[in-house]
């Protein structure tokens, strides 16, 4: 059988299996299709126009793979008990494992992500006899099937030089966690995990098991859903929850980050599950379908009319392309509205101390004075807190440095004002850069004020200095503002310099280089999007400066 007919046969077997499960529904105007020609795997399209608010498909909770339905969870109740005695906190790509006093973590792995890895590991080792066999058959099972950053080699990752995204892959911390939390469970219960005589599977080596854990971990990251208890019984307005909006901030995202790289605690009340059919949908920043979580079933509904031939699209959240690539292994033009650039505090400091020409300071003493002011700010924990320099908000690789220098991981995130998608899944307004992060502006302004006043003779001389006139004061405020903007402009330029290629290079590569492989192309999308954001920030800053200079 050639690859395309095998692909279609598996899709058909899966659809037949799905329809045969009690409680499922599948709209007759939908078809599962092969989108591999545009590197999008399987997807679902409408075969006829589908009106808004139509139930596209319904998935009973009984066919979701989760702790509630898994055989393994029933066989090892101790491990899957809700009585949690260990805690895994995931922050910025680093994972702290906080073991119970008796260190008996093996019998109690509470983390919903780890639980689902164990469950899927068990199901994959019992593939042929699993009640989910047709579903498991359409899920990616080999590392070559993934484009998520976890599986990129060093050469692929070179394409992302300059971007902060490679520092968030977290492969080592995931390996450590699998070694400490998954492998001991599998070894202790090898009779269960390798009990399927049809699989012909002998016990896997540690290396092979770890490889499987990475594949399943990545599968969960890009396919699993956070299962909310029952949205319909929420206290919020029913219409809102049905439309998939929560009360405070718009769209509920079905997916958390389960690879340890956002400020997500993996220790949440909701469980995670693999939801057949819902995970056949691809997604984009503009989408036309939404999954709502009912008591007994989950329902995918159309948010607006879906024309015949159009793809049904879900939503993974307001993710920048770098993050979309890391978690899901693809990029789209629409997601670039959410692109971000990280600016480390160390770069801001270099600009303030070495790059910026402080015209009001004597040339020899200047840098020493600026350095002294910065050191005082950094030493004072109140100041650090006030100016946002206590944030360990990115770059998980610098743990040891953080012990010595509490500002080692501090930084700022530049982004556009992008708004939320509306209730039809559309983004009606263009995303625009409208300001630097408040903390960055505050800290630069603070340093500027201190440096300027330290170098102003009227501030440092006598006790009976003359009171400043109003116009002098205005001049002073203007000087602080322009200096702050000039420094910010330099910061952006220096940040741009950190990318080995220019925007023009990248645009030419996209247009001219026909040999560009798909990973190389996605890397260009990420770095180009980030550089375009920086240029927008630069133009915004220069526009402001021009106004002040007038
Ligand atoms: C939940 S699955 C969707 C079904 C998937 N296409 C398949 O063949 O099984 C998520 C994965 O689909 C792919 N995907 C989702 N949306 C996409 C898009 N707009 N363009 C390209 N690939 C997409 C990515 O590989 C992602 O990790």
Answer yes or no: is the C-beta of 166 below 6 A from any ligand 1 atom.
no
pLDDT at 305: 98
Give the number of the atom of ligand 1 that is nearest the alpha carbon of residue 279: 1
What is the reported pLDDT for 456? 67
Angle at 531 (CA atoms; ends 526, 533), nearest 5 degrees? 100
What is the residue with the minimal CA distance to atom 27 of ligand 1?
328
Exposure on the CB side of residue 390, measured as CA atoms within 13 A: 9
Average pLDDT over residues 288-292: 97
DSSP assignment, residue 259?
S
> Atom 23 in ligand 1: which residue has the minimum CA distance?
40
Q: Which residues pair with 95 in a beta bridge?
A: 90
Does residue 129 register a pLDDT over 60? yes
Which pLDDT score is estimated for 470?
73
* 93-97, 272-276, 353-357 — most confident range: 272-276
Residue of the CA atom closest to atom 12 of ligand 1: 282
The confidence score (pLDDT) of residue 402 equals 55
Distance CA(162)–CA(153), nearest Å, equals: 17
Amino acid 243: pLDDT? 30
Tell me: pLDDT of 34 over 90: yes
User: Best mutation site among 3, 283, 333 for ligand 1, i.e. most ligand atoms within 8 A of its Cβ?
Assistant: 283
The DSSP 8-state label assigned to residue 462 in this structure reads -
33 C-beta closer than 6 A to ligand 1: no
Helix axes 206-223, 321-328, angle to 10 degrees: 130
Confidence of residue 454 (pLDDT cuts 50, 70, 90): confident
This prediction's pTM: 0.87
Bridge partners of residue 45, in order along the sequence:
31, 311
Q: Per-residue pLDDT for 415 more than 80? A: yes
Predicted pLDDT at 256 = 42
- Averaged pLDDT for residues 485-492: 98
Domains of the chain, CATH where assigned: 1-64+277-320 (3.90.1410.10), 65-229+259-274 (no CATH), 339-549 (3.90.1420.10)
Q: How far is the CA of 276 from the centre of ligand 1 (A)?
A: 14
Atom of ligand 1 nearest to the CA of 138: 9
Element containing residue 124 per DSSP (H, E): helix 112-125
Find the 251 Cα to ligand 1 centroid distance in Å. Answer: 20
Share of the chain above pLDDT 70, in %: 80
What spacing in Å lies between the alpha carbon of 42 and ligand 1's midpoint? 7
How high is the pLDDT of residue 289? 98
Of 264-273, 323-332, 432-441, give the lowest mean pLDDT range: 264-273
ipTM for the whole complex = 1.00
Q: What is the overall mean pLDDT for the chain?
A: 84
DSSP 147: -
- For residue 89, pLDDT over 60 is answered with no
Q: Is the CB of 329 under 6 A from ligand 1?
A: yes
Average pLDDT over residues 259-282: 67
**Cα 250 to ligand 1 centroid, rounded to whole Å:** 23
Q: Highest mean pLDDT: which of 102-116, 225-239, 355-369, 387-401?
A: 355-369
8 A C-beta contact, residue 378 and residue 443: no
| Atom nearest to 146 CA in ligand 1 | 25
């Amino acid at each position: 059988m050639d690859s395309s007919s095998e692909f279609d046969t598996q899709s058909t077997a899966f659809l037949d299996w799905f329809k045969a499960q009690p409680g499922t529904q599948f709209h007759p105007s939908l078809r599962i299709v092969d989108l591999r020609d545009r590197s999008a795997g399987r997807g679902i399209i409408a075969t006829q126009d589908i009106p808004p608010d139509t139930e596209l498909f319904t998935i009973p909770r009984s066919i979701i793979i989760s702790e509630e339905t898994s055989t393994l969870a029933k066989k090892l109740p101790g491990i899957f008990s809700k009585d949690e005695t260990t805690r895994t906190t995931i922050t910025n790509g680093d994972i702290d494992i906080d073991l119970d006093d008796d260190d008996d973590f093996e019998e109690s792995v509470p983390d919903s992500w780890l639980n689902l890895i164990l469950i899927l590991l068990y199901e994959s080792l019992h593939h042929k006899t699993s009640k989910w066999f047709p579903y498991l058959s359409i899920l990616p099972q080999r590392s070559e099937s993934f484009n998520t950053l976890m599986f990129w080699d060093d050469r692929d990752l070179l394409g992302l030089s300059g971007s902060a995204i490679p520092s968030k892959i977290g492969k080592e911390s995931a390996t450590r966690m699998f070694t400490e939390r998954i492998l001991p469970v599998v070894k202790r219960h090898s009779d269960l995990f390798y009990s399927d005589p049809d699989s012909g599977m002998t016990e896997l080596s540690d290396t092979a098991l770890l490889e499987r854990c990475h594949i399943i971990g990545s599968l969960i990251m890009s396919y699993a859903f956070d299962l909310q208890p029952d949205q319909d019984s929420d206290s919020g307005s029913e219409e809102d929850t049905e439309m998939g909006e929560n009360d405070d901030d718009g769209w509920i995202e079905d997916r958390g980050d389960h690879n340890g790289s956002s400020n997500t605690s993996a220790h949440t009340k909701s469980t995670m599950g693999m939801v057949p059919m819902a995970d056949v949908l691809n997604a984009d920043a503009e989408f036309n379908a939404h999954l709502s979580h009912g008591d007994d079933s989950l329902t995918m509904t159309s948010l607006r009319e879906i024309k015949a031939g159009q793809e049904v699209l879900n939503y993974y959240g307001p993710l920048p392309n770098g993050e979309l690539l890391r978690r899901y292994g693809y990029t789209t033009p629409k997601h670039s509205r959410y692109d971000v650039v990280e600016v480390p505090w160390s770069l801001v400091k270099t600009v303030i101390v070495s790059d910026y020409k402080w015209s009001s300071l004597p040339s020899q003493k200047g840098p020493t004075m600026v350095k002294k002011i910065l050191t005082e700010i950094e030493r004072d924990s109140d100041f650090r807190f006030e100016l946002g320099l206590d944030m360990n908000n990115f770059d998980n690789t610098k743990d040891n440095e953080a012990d010595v220098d509490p500002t080692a991981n501090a930084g700022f995130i530049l982004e556009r004002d992008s708004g939320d998608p509306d209730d039809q899944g559309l983004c009606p307004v263009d995303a625009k850069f409208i300001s630097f992060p408040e903390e960055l502006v505050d800290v630069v302004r603070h340093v500027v004020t201190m440096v300027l006043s330290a170098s102003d003779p009227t501030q440092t001389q006598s006790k009976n200095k003359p009171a400043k006139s109003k116009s002098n004061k205005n001049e002073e405020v203007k000087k602080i503002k322009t200096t702050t903007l000039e420094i910010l402009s330099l910061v952006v330029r220096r940040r741009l310099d950190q990318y080995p290629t220019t925007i023009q290079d990248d645009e030419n590569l996209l247009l001219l280089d026909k040999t560009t492989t798909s990973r190389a192309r996605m890397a260009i999308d990420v770095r180009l999007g980030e550089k375009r954001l920086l240029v927008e920030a630069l133009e915004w800053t220069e526009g402001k400066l021009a106004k002040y200079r007038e």
